[in-house]
């Protein structure tokens, strides 16, 4: 299926947000996730099913000052 990942169109096999993070080798990393502009907490990622053309944003916290 095709989704937009951080603004880039890509083909994925994952059917859930949790599976997408595994597919992208991001599982276990400290990241924040959103689908179509809605924040998805870590506890709900396995339940969040993806559909064609979803917009998925994944961001990692940054340190600095």
In tens digits, the chain (65 residues) has pLDDT values of: 999 999 999 999 999 999 999 999 998 889 999 999 999 999 999 999 999 999 999 998 876 76
Rounded to whole angstroms, how far apart are CA atoms 9 and 54?
Answer: 10
pLDDT value at position 62?
Answer: 75
pLDDT value at position 18?
Answer: 97
DSSP alpha helix (H) spans, 1-65:
17-23
CATH superfamily of the 2-59 domain: Beta-grasp domain (3.10.20.30)
pLDDT value at position 65?
Answer: 61
pLDDT value at position 60?
Answer: 87
The pTM for the full model equals: 0.90
């Amino acid at each position: 299926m095709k989704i937009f990942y951080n603004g880039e169109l890509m083909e994925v096999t994952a059917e859930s947000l949790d599976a997408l993070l595994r597919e992208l080798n991001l599982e276990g990393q400290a990241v924040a996730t959103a689908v179509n502009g809605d924040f998805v907490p870590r506890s709900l990622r396995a339940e969040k099913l993806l559909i064609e053309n979803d917009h998925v944003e994944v961001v990692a916290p940054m340190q600095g000052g």
